[in-house]
Structure 1
Amino acid sequence: MKAVLNGTVIAEAPQSDLLKIEGNWYFPPASVNAEFLVKSPTQYTCSWKGECQYFGVKDGETLLQDRAFSYPAPPAASFDRVGQDYSDYVAFWKEIRVTE
C-alpha cells in the first residue's frame, strides 16, 4: 500500500505490514519517507493509545500541518487491543491518499 500526496509517495509497504486502527492505516516506521515529515507542536492524548505525535507533511515548499500522526510510546495494555506493538507507526490524514 502507498500513502501518496500529489503524486509523491510518502510511505509504502505491503498491506500485511500495516495496521488498521480505528479506520486509519498505520505504516511501519521504516516504510515512511521521513524527509517529507516535520514534527508538529500540536498535542493530543488518546484515552487508550496515549500521547500522539503529529507531523506536518511537506508538499514542495508548502507544509500541510498535522496531516500525519503516530504514537511513539503507547501504553503496553493497548497492544492487546491492536494485536501488536504499534509504536512509531504512522497514519495519514486528509490530502494524503492511502491506496493499494
Structure 2
Amino acid sequence: MATARWNGEIIAESDETTIVEGNHYFPIDSVRQEFLRPSDTHTVCGWKGTASYYTLSVNGAENADAAWYYPEPKDEAKEIKDHVAFWRGVEVTA
C-alpha cells in the first residue's frame, strides 16, 4: 500500500497507485479532500498535458502547490486521469 504523509497526517493511501516518472499517482477517492485547497498554478508537460495544483492545508500549516493532477491528460497519460501526485516534502512510501 502506498501512503502520502505530511505534517503528521496521512494525506492519501491506496493499493492502486499508478507510477509515472517515479511519482505515485493516487486515485482521487483515496485522497483526503479536507486537506486540499485549489491553487491557481498550472504547468504544462509535453506528453501528459496541463497540470493543475492543490495546496495542502494540514494542522494549521500550508504547503503551496504540493499536490498536482491532470484534469484532462493527453492520451499517452490517460491512466493518471482522476489521480493526484505529491511533492514538496510530502513523504510517499510504498
TM-score above 0.5, yes or no: yes
Letter matched to residue 32 of structure 1: V
Residue equivalent to 2:8: 7
Residue equivalent to 1:50: 49
As a proportion of its length, which structure holds more strand? 2
Q: Distance in 2 between matches of 1:99 and 1:51?
A: 26
Residue equivalent to 1:95: 89
Residue equivalent to 2:23: 24
Equivalent residues of 2:7, 2:59 under 8 A apart: no
Q: Distance in 1 between matches of 2:7 and 2:64?
A: 16
Structure 1 unaligned spans of 5+: none
Count of paired positions: 93
Q: Distance in 2 between matches of 1:4 and 1:41?
A: 23
TM-score, normalization by structure 2? 0.91
Residue equivalent to 1:38: 37
Q: Distance in 2 between matches of 1:6 and 1:60?
A: 7
Q: Distance in 1 between matches of 2:90 and 2:11?
A: 8
TM-score, normalization by structure 1? 0.86
Q: Between Structure 1 and Structure 2, whose CA radius of gyration is higher?
A: 1
Query: What percent of counterpart residues are identical?
Result: 39
Structure 2 unaligned spans of 5+: none
Computed over aligned residues only, the root mean square deviation of the Cα atoms, in angstroms, reads 1.2
Q: Distance in 1 between matches of 2:29 and 2:92?
A: 17
